[in-house]
Structures are given as structure tokens and as C-alpha cells.
Structure 1
Amino acid sequence: MIIISWDVGVIHLAYCVIKYELNMNTNQYTYEILDWDNINLLDDDRLELKCCGIQKAKHNICDKKATFHLNLNNKEFGFCKLHLNQSKKYWSLDKTMKLFSPIKTSDKCTYIGKNQVCDKNAKMQYQKETFCTSHYKLKLNSKIKELSPKPINNIIVKKYPTSQLQMNLINKLDELLEHFKLLEIEEIIIENQPSYKNPKMKSIACTLFDYFLIKGFADKLINIKLVRYMCPSNKLMVDKHNTLGVFKKNKDFTKKYKLTKELGIKYTKQLLINHPNQLEFLELFKKKDDLCDSFLQGLYYLTYIKKF
């Protein structure tokens, strides 16, 4: 039997395709991962820059992921938080102030506010614009802000439209459908989500369910036999006694959540001890818990629910 198990997420929507079959030589069931990956449902158009700051000890370029960027003449420079102060080597407050020069002419202030030119006596000039004292300060502060490093903002998942996430998911699944068909997947297992606690995740789970229901049973584009939800708490029950013992010692919800993630990774590595290629693949991911959850959920389903 071949199944695909889905661990529901937005940035880390993980799936694992598992082949489960009887070994005639040992008369025992064996499992093999045929495909394992994460899908990011966000249209992420954020800047991806490396920090160009210089490390003090080694005098090398930092090269870490930048969290701030400085735009000068349409060229982007990245800085991490540690080396943010080094942005002054590229552009400083003093350089910004030197963009303005005092004038002693009879020119008037060219600042336009509320559809009306100021027309007071000008004291400072920037390029072809002239400013009175008060509007010079406004323009100076505007240029300081423009020529200062700005944070590379994270996309806030809660503010991302659910409908757009659903459309992104459908488009991603359309791209993968032929691949899933070639893998001869028979059953689709989807992590169930609480409706009221996290409606966005529930919408993603429902979209997954509906997509495979339509493609498999209505359009008949993929030969599947079943689409079903799975209780998320089951995935750690592949090692029931150990899991229950650890959880009984911890009443705190936050600690339990962290333990769930840690145990998921630990159990996956134990179960794949004879699958070095998959262990090596798992190590390529900085965030491993979602991939591990998709694997454990699928294995629990095959071992304890299908009960071959």
C-alpha cells in the first residue's frame, strides 16, 4: 500500500509518501519513503540579502541572513542586527545633511502643502528645491528616513488572506498531481484541525481534502481509494509507553508543545535508523518537526489503524 500523509501548515505544509508492504522473506511489514517535502503557501516577495558587515575577529564578510537593508542608488545592502551600525560606512547622517546647502538669495520656499506653495523666504536648498526653516526640517527628516537601514519585514501569516492561501495550495497541488499519480498513491491522510481554534489551518485542511476528493472521485485524474482526516495527537503514539510517560511529567502546555516537536524528531530518527539516505535528507532542513510529523502520522495510520 502507498499513502500520502499531510501535516497541515502555511509556510511548512509537509507531506510524506510511504510505501508499506510485506517482506516475504521475513514475513514482516516494511516501510519506505518515496517522497518527502515541505510546501510554502506564501507568495514571499521579501528581499533575500546577506549581511555585508565585517566580522571584527576574522575580518571576513559576515554573510549571515540580513534582517535590515539599505537602498542607495537602487542598490541594496544587507545587514544583520549585530553589524547594523556598520551601515554608516555606506551612508551616514552627516552625508544626508550635506545634501542640503544654505542660500542667501531672495528665493521662496517651494514646499507644497495642502495644494498650496509655502512661499516663505527660503534658507536651505536641496537640488532644485528651496525650503524655509520649518520645511527644511521636514525634508531633512524625510531624507534621513529614506537613507537609513530598514527592517526586512516578515510576512504575517494571520494577515494573509485565507482565500489566497487556498488558491496557492490548489496551484501547488496541480503542479504535483502528475507526480503523485506516478507514485500510485492509494490513500490520502490529512491532519485534522480544530475549527474554532485555528480557522485558517482548518481551511487549508479542508482544501486538501476537497482537492483530492474532486481529482480522485469526480474527475478521476488520480486513482485513489480513500481521503480521510487523522487526529493530530496520534502521531506520537508510535512509541506509546515512552510518550505517555514523558507527558505525565509535564503539565505545562508550552512545555508539552515543545516536547511534542522534540519527540517527533527523535522518534523519526529512531525509526529511520536503517534508512541513511532519508536521515541525510532530513538533516538538510533547518525546521524538521513538520516533516517528521507527516512521516509519523502516516506510519501510525498504517501500523495501528490499517492493521495489516
Structure 2
Amino acid sequence: MKVLSIDVGIKNLALCLLCKSANNDTDMRWGILKWDVVDLTQKNDEAKCCEVDKFKICNKSAKFTKDGKYFCLKHSKKQQFKIPTSDLKPAFINKQKIQALYEMADKYNIKYEKPIKKQDLVFLLNEYVQNSCFEVVGNTNASKLNLVTIGKNIQSKLDSILEEHVTTINIVAIENQISPIANRMKTIQGMIAQYFIMRNPNIEIEFVSASNKLKEEKKDSKSTYTERKKLGIKKCLEIIQNDFIPEWTDVFNNHSKKDDLADSFLQGIWFIKEKIEKIEK
């Protein structure tokens, strides 16, 4: 049996594929087949310039992107979009005082009516950047990445990682997104579920509450997000070192996103104990 546990994210989508198989021909135990964190803002392959020169695709490394197309520095200069300068970045615009915003709007011929509130002028400038400027390749803002691109990256990333397993996975446990401000994440949750439905029509999909991951631990109800993350890392390391899968200890310890790895692993372990082993008993 194979159980895939997924902790939903855009830049940090964590997955842990667990498999129950025979150990020494007698003991049936759970082991890890795949354990990784995926960035859905990036494609698998290096982005290449899509422009055509003398009947040949340029294919040089892309520096900028817009509307799903990629351009090298040379060909980006031939497009209608601007290469973003330091003052054409939302982080810079949002920090400016009203007088500086007036000057920027005039510089880029952005029309506005006086008097205008600072927040409205900031909105107009950011809208101008979004509509008129390239995005730098490799510097993607997850909150602004369109859902079509995310959907395509879900397909390419999961196809690559789960290629030899996707048709044999029995159950996918996906972290349920319930926050009122998580509409975007809820959509991505559904896109992930649809991916598996299309790849494996016989698969079973369960949406799991995030609170289950540390249910067995005694937690202070007032504990912070950071404290819960640290507790998850500690519990995960304890399990893989002591009584589960020690060969994955180095992988876990050397990973930069231990908290996300721990979330996907602990969710998978909880699901196996509560939804599979209890029923089997």
C-alpha cells in the first residue's frame, strides 16, 4: 500500500510518499519512498528565450518573463514591456512618501486626479508595474503568480517526482485549507486533488485537518506558530531516528525546509495510524 501525504504550499509544497512492504520477508513495515519540498513558482527546466531569429528559436537563458513567455536580455529590449528598474518594484513603491509618489507617477505618465490618497496612488503605480513591466525570471512573487501557471507547474513537478509511483498510489492525504483568507490555497488544494484524479482514477483522496499532525503531543493552546513548527521538527526527527526510518535522518537534517518536511511526514503518520491501522485491527 502507498500513502502520499501533502502539505499544501506554493513555494513550499511538501510531500511524503509512504509505502508498506515486507521487511526480511516477514515483518510488514512502513517506509519512505519520496520525501521532498516543491516550489510551484518555478518550472522544472531552465527558462529559455522564445523569440525567433532567422527562422530559429533564440533559446538563450531567459532573464525576463511576461504572460507566460520568456525573453533573453537582447529580445526583451524589443518588446513593449519595460525592464523593471529599482523604482519600479512594489517593495520600493509601497515605502515612498506621497511627494515621491507624485514624482514617479509624473515620470511614467500615469494619470491621476488631485487630490488623491496615498494608498490610491500606490495602487495606480503598482498596477502600472504589473501591466507594463517584465517580471525577473527566478524572482516570482507567489501571491501574484496566476493559477494557470501554478496548475501547469503542479503537473510538471508532480509528473517528474512521482513518475513511477502515481498510478500505484492508493491514498492521497492533502492538508485541508479552511482559513477565510485561504481562498487561493483552497483552489490549489483542489487543483492538486484533480491532478491525482486524472492521473489515477482509482485513487482515494482525503482532506486532512492540519491540527491532526501534532494531536498526540501535549500542546499549549496558546503556543505560537513558530513553537508548533519547532515541535513538529523535534517530533519528526525523534520518529525517524528511533523507531521508523533512520536512513532518512541525514536527508531531513540537511534540508533547508525541515518544518515543511516534518508537516508532510507527521500528517502521513497520523493518517496511517488513525485511518488505516485502526481499521485493519
State the TM bucket, normalised to the shorter chain: 0.5 to 0.7
Aligned partners of 2:213, 2:156: CA distance in 1, in Å?
28
Shift of the alpha carbon at 1:196? Answer: 2.9
Q: Which residue of 1 aligns with 2:225?
A: 257
Aligned partners of 1:153, 1:4: CA distance in 2, in Å?
28
Q: Which residue of 1 aligns with 2:58?
A: none
Alpha-carbon displacement from aligned partner over 1:30-59 (angstroms, at most 9, x marks no partner): 321111111111138xxxxxxxxxxxxxxx
Alpha-carbon displacement from aligned partner over 1:187-227 (angstroms, at most 9, x marks no partner): 1111111263212211211111111112211xxxxxx4411
Aligned partners of 2:24, 2:208: CA distance in 1, in Å?
30
Q: Tell whether the 8 Å contact from 1:262 to 1:289 is kept in structure 2 after alignment.
A: yes
Shift of the alpha carbon at 1:236? Answer: 1.0
Aligned partners of 2:138, 2:196: CA distance in 1, in Å?
35
TM-score norm. by structure 2 comes to 0.59
Q: Quote the sequence identity (%).
A: 32
For structure 2, the residue ranges without an aligned partner over 5 or more in a row are 44-72, 74-106, 108-136
Structure 1 residue aligned with 2:145, among 148, 155, 160?
Answer: 160
For structure 1, the residue ranges without an aligned partner over 5 or more in a row are 45-73, 75-112, 114-151, 218-223
Shift of the alpha carbon at 1:10? Answer: 0.9
Change (3 A) 1:193 1:43: same
Task: Tell me the secondary structure at the aligned position of residue 272 of structure 1.
Answer: helix
Pairwise CA RMSD:
3.0
Q: Which residue of 1 aligns with 2:175?
A: 191
Shift of the alpha carbon at 1:175? Answer: 2.9
Change (3 A) 1:164 1:195: farther
Aligned partners of 2:30, 2:250: CA distance in 1, in Å?
17
- Greater Cα offset, 196-205 or 226-235: 196-205
Aligned partners of 2:253, 2:24: CA distance in 1, in Å?
32
Q: Which residue of 2 aligns with 1:10?
A: 10
Aligned partners of 2:205, 2:139: CA distance in 1, in Å?
34
- Write out aligned runs for 1:78-157 (5 A): 155-157=140-142
Q: Tell whether the 8 Å contact from 2:3 to 2:173 is kept in structure 1 after alignment.
A: yes
Aligned partners of 1:153, 1:3: CA distance in 2, in Å?
32
Structure 2 residue aligned with 1:234, among 193, 212, 225?
Answer: 212
Which of structures 1 and 2 has the larger relative contact order (alpha carbons within 8 angstroms, sep 6+)?
2
TM-score norm. by structure 1 comes to 0.54
Q: Tell whether the 8 Å contact from 1:22 to 1:30 is kept in structure 2 after alignment.
A: yes
Aligned partners of 1:305, 1:21: CA distance in 2, in Å?
18
Aligned partners of 1:299, 1:3: CA distance in 2, in Å?
10
Alpha-carbon displacement from aligned partner over 1:144-188 (angstroms, at most 9, x marks no partner): xxxxxxxx9953322222332122112222334532247x32111
Shift of the alpha carbon at 1:263? Answer: 1.1
Aligned partners of 1:153, 1:23: CA distance in 2, in Å?
43
Q: Tell whether the 8 Å contact from 1:8 to 1:191 is kept in structure 2 after alignment.
A: yes
Q: Which residue of 2 aligns with 1:212?
A: 196
Aligned partners of 1:232, 1:301: CA distance in 2, in Å?
11
Q: Which residue of 2 aligns with 1:203?
A: 187
Q: Tell whether the 8 Å contact from 2:166 to 2:199 is kept in structure 1 after alignment.
A: no
Which residue identity is paired with 1:230? V
Which of these two proteins has the greater Rg computed from alpha carbons?
A: 1
Which residue identity is paired with 1:267? K
Aligned partners of 1:35, 1:270: CA distance in 2, in Å?
19
Aligned partners of 2:272, 2:183: CA distance in 1, in Å?
28
Q: Which residue of 2 aligns with 1:33?
A: 32
Q: Tell whether the 8 Å contact from 1:5 to 1:17 is kept in structure 2 after alignment.
A: yes
Q: Tell whether the 8 Å contact from 2:196 to 2:203 is kept in structure 1 after alignment.
A: no
Q: Tell whether the 8 Å contact from 2:4 to 2:16 is kept in structure 1 after alignment.
A: yes
Aligned partners of 2:155, 2:211: CA distance in 1, in Å?
27
Change (3 A) 1:161 1:195: farther
Which residue identity is paired with 2:257? K
Which residue identity is paired with 1:10? I
Aligned partners of 1:36, 1:24: CA distance in 2, in Å?
23
Matched, 1:180 2:158: no
